[in-house]
Amino acid sequence: ADFIGSQFQPMVEAAAALLSAPVPDRDAIRQLILNACGNMIQLLTQDDTLSLSKFISREQLSPTAAYQRVHDRVIAPMHTHLTELIAAYTGRDPADTQTILHTHALLGQVLAFRLGRETILLRTGWTEFDESSVAQINEVIACHLDLILVGLTQRSLKP
């Protein structure tokens, strides 16, 4: 929890500052979400965080008291802030289950590069996640983020 928290504390602080503005800056919100995703991709493509990923994956599938501590201290605040950012950008309600699910689906796209590591390495012909491959992953996630934000905004504007 301490390691994960330290990696994402700047994002949490920036999200709180952005969300406290009378009129949140949509460009800054998009950039913060993109930075958070990029930070996650960077962490999840490093070999030295594999043990942490295994721990979190195991706890997701068979939770113990340890997961509840990590969830309460790190995952819930990050998930909540990300949901609030997506809601502020799109005009959706951050407490709405659909907004929470959209946020979780976005996170799932990022997590897929850790959980489906061998598949993507074999499909792309990469031997490892290097600077170039991580940059390509970031480009795809940025594209998907923009599609999600624009699509959800359009849906929010419909009567």
Q: Which domains does the chain have, with CATH numbers?
A: 2-157 (1.10.357.10)
How does pLDDT run across 8-53, given as a tens digit for each residue? 677 777 888 888 888 889 999 999 999 999 998 998 898 888 888 8
Long-range contacts of 72-75 (CB under 8 A, 24+ apart): 73/1, 73/5, 74/1, 74/4, 74/5, 74/8, 75/4
Q: Which amino acid does the sequence have at 158? A: K
Amino acid symbol at 111 = L
Segment 122-140 mean pLDDT: 96
Question: Is there a contact between 8 and 79 (Cβ–Cβ < 8 Å)?
Answer: no
Q: How far apart are CA 60 and CA 105, in angstroms?
A: 15
